Amino acid sequence: MYIIAGLGNPGREYENTRHNAGFRVIDCLAERMRTEVNEKKHFALCGKGMLGAEKVLLLKPQTYMNNSGQSLRAAADFYKVPPENILVISDDINLEEGVLRIRMKGSAGGHNGLKSIIAHLGSQDFPRIRVGVGGKPEGWDLADYVLGSLKGNDGKRMEEAFRTAADAAELLVTEGGPAAMNRYNTKPQKPAKKERPVKKEESGEKEGSGEKEQES
């Protein structure tokens, strides 16, 4: 069995933001698996289905980004799933928009959600797909950037990236990490001109979300 966890923040105000890339990829996977991610369990919204011959639990932690590990540890303990069968999907400000980076293990790379997961699982040996959302333009606040609503060309590029990340997740589960890395670890391309995101009131932050703590 596999757990595929997409990282993000709960709440309507975060739905269409760069920081919720993981949630959006889970939505794409749920559609192709013909399941719904609406069961409240393990501090998350969950959905079950199959990818090929593999049983999969889709997970959207509802603990806010920098406490994501609490949810994954609860689900992993309940289903007795080892770290190597827990696939984590997150945003990455260090990758250009739409670029994917797949690794089978490694450090958090400054991402608060991955930091929490490593701490709770006590291991770095879990696969992850990082979806590039691009770095913030000079002079912009990081929270305003990652919590800004996706629109226009940025939105179209990221919608395509979410679908591609879902393809990568499916291939990783059904054919293994090397196959997924060979196909989807693309070389960075020249970044497109960014559009200023729509700001949230007071930058939309809630206590415990940890957005401003994400390292570049």
Q: Tell which phi-psi region holds residue 166, choosing left (phi > 0), alpha (psi between -120 and 50) or beta.
A: alpha
Mean pLDDT of the chain: 88
- Based on the structure, what is the number of domains in the chain? 1
Domain limits for position 189: 2-204
Least confident residue range of 44-53, 75-84, 99-108, 202-211: 202-211
Identify the pLDDT of residue 144. Answer: 80
For residue 211, being part of any structural domain is answered with no
Mean pLDDT of 110-118: 96
The active-site residue out of 19, 42, 111, 120 is 19
For residue 216, being part of any structural domain is answered with no
For residue 109, being part of any structural domain is answered with yes
Name the band, by pLDDT with cuts 50, 70 and 90, for residue 9: very high
Give the CA dihedral 149, 128, 99, 64, nearest 10 degrees.
10
Give the CA dihedral 153, 19, 2, 99, nearest 10 degrees.
40
Identify the pLDDT of residue 182. Answer: 97
Cα–Cα nearest to 164, from 28, 56, 33: 28
For residue 61, being part of any structural domain is answered with yes
Q: Is 19 among the residues known to form the active site? A: yes
Mean pLDDT of 55-68: 97
**CATH no. for residue 33?**
3.40.50.1470
Name the band, by pLDDT with cuts 50, 70 and 90, for residue 74: very high
Identify the pLDDT of residue 153. Answer: 82
For residue 113, being part of any structural domain is answered with yes
Question: What percentage of residues in the chain have a pLDDT greater than 90?
Answer: 70
For residue 212, being part of any structural domain is answered with no
For residue 209, being part of any structural domain is answered with no
For residue 170, being part of any structural domain is answered with yes
Q: What is the pLDDT of residues 136-190, one digit of tens each?
A: 877 777 778 788 788 888 888 999 999 999 999 999 999 999 999 999 996 655 5
Cα–Cα nearest to 59, from 7, 114, 124, 102: 7
